[in-house]
Homo-oligomer: A and B are copies of this chain.
């Protein structure tokens, strides 16, 4: 799902930067692996897995400084990011630290929102319909209120919040309109009704609730 433009930029990049969860292989790099030039220098930003924001932000601070060093020497850096950089993407933490001082071009990507809808065969919105994107970690009462007032709803970052989300959606009588999508477009993708979804969902999972979007009308 890489765009032609992104593929070209990656192929031509003298330096490539990307985040990696500390101790693990970088998912962003794995997706782009076949495109990175053999001689390219790689800047790995090791992001610690903590609930507190501080350590992760320190990692982005340090990563931005390493990128800035290269840019100051007049070389371009291509930063990799899963999905879209500005839709819950890690790149925005680098963007905030670099955009004021250097020329930064953001290349939009295919977001998990449309990737999941495509794989579920579930249109998001047509005509004057609204779309609401909610992160799964929000409190139960807030989720209930926001889903009630919405048309199409996409719930991201489902993970361990799945049982809570299923109970909210069930109580709103929307169970038969809720689709669960896990690791959309990847090899081990899974699409099923929310009722059949596993209690322990991975981070890369989404629930789509379609209350509007009748494409026949």
Contact = CB atoms under 8 A, between A and B. Distances in A.
Contact of A1 (B108, B114, B149): B108
A135 B124 contact: no
Interface in A123-145: 123-135, 137-138
A32 to B, nearest CB: 11
Interface residues of A, number: 57
Interface string A93-109: 10111010000101111
B104 A109 contact: no
A68 interface: no
A200 B1 CA distance: 35
A2 B1 contact: no
Contacts of A125: 87-88, 133
Contacts of A2: 3-4
Interface string A106-119: 11111101110111
A90 to B, nearest CB: 9
Interface string A1-40: 1111101000000000000000000000000000000000
A117 B108 contact: yes
Nearest to A94: B215
Interface of A: 1-5, 7, 53, 57, 84-88, 92-93, 95-97, 99, 104, 106-111, 113-115, 117-119, 121-135, 137-138, 146, 149, 157, 185, 213, 215-217
